Amino acid sequence: MGDEGFGPRIVFDIMGISVTETVTVTWFIMFVLLVFSIAVTRNMKREASGIQLVVEQLVGIINNMTKQNMGEKNAAFAPYVGTLLLFIGISNIIGLFGFRPPTADLNTTMCLSIATFVLTQFFGMKSKGLGGYGKGFLEPMPFLLPLNIIGELANPISLGFRLFGNITAGVIIMTLLYGALGAFTNSLLGLTVPLLQAGVPAVLHIYFDLFAGLLQSFIFTMLTMVFISGAME
C-alpha cells in the first residue's frame, strides 16, 4: 500500500511495454499454483496422508459443488471451477502478505468475466444448437429480444465490476487507514501509535482480505456455474 495512488504501480518496462504489479503478482500466483500442483501430485500414494489428504478433500469438495450446481452431466467442469476458485481466492487474500490483489485491477476481473461469458455462449450453443440457443432470446415474447440481448451482455459486466468493486474498496480503505495512522502522532490512553498501527489494520485486513476476499471468490465461481449451466438447459 504505497502513497502513489490507488492504481497498480509500474514495476518495470520490457521493450517499451510497461509491466504493472498486477501482472507480476498474477505471474507469481500462477507460479505458486503450478509448483504446488507438481509437488503434491509427484509422489501420490494409494493411502493419502498429510498434504495429499488435504488436497484430495479439497478436490472432493469442488467436485461435489460442481455436481450440485451444474448437475452430474456437467461434472467435467470441476477442473475449471476449481482453478477459478483457487486463483481468485489467492488473488483476493494476497493483500495479507503485502501484495496488491490482481483482482483490484478491472483488467483482471473483466478478463475473468469475459472468459465466463465466452464459455456460457459456447456451451449454450453446443448444447441447444445455434437455432435453439437463438430461439431462447425470443422467449417469453419475441418483442423482448433487445432486452434479452442486453441482459446477456450485462452478465459479464456486472460479474467483473462486482468482484473489482469489492476488492478495490478494501484496498482503498486500507490505504486511507495507513495514511491516517501514519499522520497520527499523539498517544491515546497510554497506547502508543505503533500499537494502533499494528492492531487496527490487522483486524481490518482479516475482514477485507480474508473474509470478504474468500466470499467474493466463492460468489464469482458460483455465478459462473449458474450462467454456464443455465445456458445449457
pLDDT at 173 over 50: yes
Among the ranges given (43-57, 96-110, 163-177, 190-204), the one the predictor scored with the smallest mean pLDDT = 190-204
Burial of 161 (0-12, 13-18, 19+ CB in 10 A): middle
**Predicted confidence (pLDDT) per residue in 108-129, tens digit:** 999 999 999 999 999 999 988 8
CA distance 84 to 109: 11
**Predicted confidence (pLDDT) per residue in 5-25, tens digit:** 567 788 788 877 888 889 999
CA distance 186 to 2: 23
Output the pLDDT for position 192: 47
* Cell numbers placing 228: 454456464
The SS3 assignment for 12 reads strand
The residues, any chain, with a CB within 8 Å of residue 151's CB and separated by 6 or more, are none
CA distance 204 to 153: 35
Closest alpha carbon to 225 in 19, 55, 17, 70: 70
**Predicted confidence (pLDDT) per residue in 174-223, tens digit:** 777 766 666 554 445 444 444 444 455 566 667 667 778 888 999 999 99
Cβ 109 vs Cβ 161: under 8 Å:
yes
Average pLDDT, the chain: 83
pLDDT classification of 40: cutoffs 50, 70, 90: confident
Output the pLDDT for position 143: 80
Residue 59 Cα to chain centre, angstroms: 18
Cis omega (within 30 of 0) on the bond before 102?
A: no
